[in-house]
Amino acid sequence: MPVRSAWLINRTETESGQSRADTRLSPVGTMSPTGPLTSVGGVIPGSENGAYLMSALYVYGETAGMRATVAPGRAVIQGRGPAGAYPVVLTDYTDVGFDDGDAANPRIDVVVLRVHDAQFNSEDGRTEAALEVVKGKPDASPEQPGLPDASLPLARVLVPAGASVGTGGIDWANAVYDLRVSTVAVGGILPESWNRDVLGGYVGQYRDTTTEFQRWDGVRWSGYPRQIGGIAPQGALARGEYTGQYRDEGGRLQRWDGTVWRPAVTASAWATNTDGGYCASTTWVEAVTDTVGPTITATFTAPVSGAVFVSVGFMGNTTVEGQWSRMGVNIRKDGVLVSAADETRSATVGSKAMTSVSATHRVTGLQPGAVYTAVSAYVTSATSSRGWFDNRFIRVDPVL
């Protein structure tokens, strides 16, 4: 049989033992660990001219009937823990046969490449590598059968009820599901297999999914752009994987704070009203009289520093010489006042002449990532002197 395995029987022990050709053909040294004494079982990737991920040990059927063909190729099969891993090679295209289908129900059979080693499993007394079909149980909803030790699944095949050579056999175009997984030597980059739930063998192992480079972190495969210090591409993450992670969201950089994504660099906020109005109140109020439009409100997100620069300004005057008028800002979070308008943080005019003024102050102690509103506020020195305000604005800039 064209199935050979290295390190199973020495040529000096039996004429059917390991030959020099067996040693050359078998993937000796292609081992990637899953534990102190175990290795990843799988098919050695590669194809003619490098056109495909792997063509080795492919299971297919070409004609109606109950026989499939397995393509030649090389593999590593992990035995029972103390037995270690076996390098195996299939040197020629080889047929495998399937029993006729059950009269009433379909079943699932699995084609495996298996190693028998009497030194570790004396039940059948065999010491050889072989292609085998593990027969499943007929059922209305059949399930894949359990597999023996030291076997590598290659494909599962759905055997319809009543299938036989005389009834047309197995529908090869739709019956075969590829179960092959790839394996490479330790330190190598693992090509993506059809079964994407294959676990990594060690922290720091890498694989190529054809669309993404991934690293095994001990729990899951993580796209390399998601690793610490990397920026996850748009659409890759709905939820952050660690506090301080960044992602690109529509061209805007966001940071995961442990609960939600926040803008990594907050934008400036701006609000303005170019229609004039007056205030005759000696206590701070948030609206002027005889104007069009709502109260000026600038909504902003506090940066990671918790500090912002707030600028206010207007063009205005007083109706009584020697009196003054001021514009400041009230800052609220969820409706609660956190910074009140104050004369030391306001823009002030003290003349009947129309004057343009502005003032900037720094606000600290804000909660990073929280949303605040800056609302305009006005006051005059006397009720007998109307303070006029025109071209009013509020600007909030993050302190980074």
Q: What is the pLDDT of residue 302?
A: 93
Among 284, 333, 314, 340, CA closest to 395:
314
Contacts of 50-55 spanning 24+ positions with Cβ under 8 A = 53/182, 53/191, 53/192, 54/180, 54/182, 54/191
Strand partners, 360: 311
Q: Which residue has the tokens 């004429």?
A: 15
Q: What is the pLDDT of residue 25?
A: 61
Strands (E), 175-242: 176-178, 189-191, 206-208, 213-216, 221-223, 231-232
Neighbours of 183 (CB within 10 A): 28
- Residues in the chain, total: 400
pTM: 0.57
Q: What is the pLDDT of residue 15?
A: 58
Q: What is the pLDDT of residue 358?
A: 97
Q: What is the pLDDT of residue 63?
A: 84
Q: What is the pLDDT of residue 195?
A: 56
Cα separation, 160 vs 140, in Å, equals: 10
Cα separation, 237 vs 42, in Å, equals: 31
Q: What is the pLDDT of residue 121?
A: 78
Tell me if 305 sits within 8 A of 397, measured CB to CB. Answer: no
Tell me if 249 sits within 8 A of 261, measured CB to CB. Answer: yes
Block means of pLDDT (10 residues each) for the chain, 400 residues, are 71 60 68 83 89 91 92 91 86 96 97 91 83 97 95 96 94 94 88 72 86 83 68 85 87 88 88 95 96 90 93 97 97 96 96 97 93 97 96 95
Q: What is the pLDDT of residue 1?
A: 57
Q: What is the pLDDT of residue 377?
A: 97
Tell me if 66 sits within 8 A of 157, measured CB to CB. Answer: no
Domain ranges of the chain: 3-186, 206-263, 269-398
Q: What is the pLDDT of residue 144?
A: 96
Among 315, 309, 335, 319, CA closest to 327:
315
What's the CATH class of domain 269-398?
A: mainly beta
Among 322, 295, 292, 328, CA closest to 310:
328
Cα separation, 380 vs 282, in Å, equals: 5
Q: What is the pLDDT of residue 16?
A: 66
